[in-house]
Amino acid sequence: MQTATILVTGGAGYIGSHTCIELLHAGFKVLVVDNLDNSSEESLKRVEQITGKTVDFIKGDVRDAQLMASIFADNKIAATIHFAGLKAVGESCAMPLEYYDNNVNSTLVLCQAMEKANSKNLVFSSSATVYGDPEVLPLTEDMPLSATNPYGRSKLIIEEMLRDLPESDKLKKSDNPWSVALLRYFNPVGAHESGKIGEDPSDTPNNLMPFITQTAVGRRAELSIFGSDYDTVDGTGVRDYIHVVDLARGHVKAVQKLLSKDGIDGVQAYNLGTGNGISVLEMVKAFSAENDVAVPYKLVERRPGDVAACYADATRARVELDWVAEMSLEDMVRDSWKWQSLNPDGYTV
């Protein structure tokens, strides 16, 4: 099983590149397809430096049906991890059609190629955003789903589309049914401990951690903290931040489960989070204390669309995938800073 080839769409990106490392460490071969729209091939070169192993790379778009058919015809793919997609909430409101095309259509084309090749093990990058504005915390996988923007809706549509596949297997009496893990990520932060790879947003960051690191390194004057009057520990928003290496290892566990004798029966969703809620102020303070660096900030109005608090119950991933998040808040802020301070302008080559 361990020499099996895993197809990783979007593998040059932030979470994908970290997952390539963990797949290689676990003994898998890795084939990446990425159009480099929001990434650089340099990340994969660094994955090779870190692991001493080779990553096969095809520059291309997952929406290209011919390309995807040829990838499955030329390679024996044991499982596919589908990271490729667009992920900025604000941008998705301005260009919904691009988001539905890139996210929903890429998944459709990918699944058609997988079905044709009879290679039906899939790990899909979903998001805690599918829980909308949560009423009860912590979030378990069976809680109600909703979307508040086109990005979130694209993830919901894909989840629904994938949930239709096992029924088709039953009707066709398939002897190789679909086996799909929907991984709902909470808030990924951090970087590989080497500081060689990390998050490299091409525009002004929307997410908290890259904004903190870019402020600390002097690229931004100050962090705006959105909202200080939430009903939370200190009035600022609370999230479940998860180290990207823990998240990457969750993907390896999901692949191993798909390839195991029991497999995954049809489609199953898993929350990948730590279960701990951390406020924005707690995060800023932890970052400054651990790295001995100042992060100037000001408290401003709430950001429209934000929820007060969101954190996971990740019991299902622990029980079924044998996965738990192991890295601490200190690991997250230290590794985020190591990446940013060693690469102040990201991947510049």
| Category of 187 on φ-ψ map: left (φ > 0), alpha (ψ -120 to 50) or beta | beta
Is residue 151 flagged as an active site residue?
Answer: yes
The piece of 34-42, 113-121, 209-217, 304-312 that touches ligand NAD (CB under 6 A) is 34-42
Specify the residue for token string 């009057």.
229
| Calpha distance 23→5 (Å, rounded) | 10
Cα 290 to Cα 271: distance, rounded to the nearest angstrom = 28
Pick from 119, 125, 274, 336 the residue near ligand NAD by CB under 6 A.
Answer: 125
Question: Which residue of 226, 293, 324, 341 would you call a contact of ligand UD1, by CB under 6 A?
Answer: 226
Q: Which two tokens stand for residue 99?
A: 């988001």
Residue 106, interface with ligand UD1 (CB under 6 A)? no
* Bridge partner residues of 123 (DSSP): 81, 181
| Residue number of the CB atom closest to ligand NAD | 13
Residue 137 or 225: the one with the smaller Cβ distance to ligand UD1 is: 225
Residue 96: C-alpha distances to residues 93, 102, 103, 286 (Å)? 6, 10, 10, 36
Residue from 40, 121, 127, 268 touching ligand UD1 (CB under 6 A): that is 127
Report the partner that residue 224 touches, choosing among ligand UD1, ligand NAD, none (CB closer than 5 to 8 A by kind): ligand UD1
Q: What is the distance between the alpha carbons of residues 26 and 141, in angstroms, rounded to a whole number?
A: 27
Residue 214 CA to residue 217 CA, distance in Å, equals 5
Catalytic residue among 99, 100, 131, 151: 151
Taking CB under 6 A as the binding criterion, the range among 5-13, 115-123, 272-280, 322-330 that sits at the site for ligand NAD is 5-13
Residues of this chain that interact with ligand NAD (CB under 6 A) are 9-10, 12-16, 34-39, 61-63, 83-85, 87, 102, 106, 125, 127, 185, 188
Give the residue numbers annotated as catalytic, written as ranges.
151
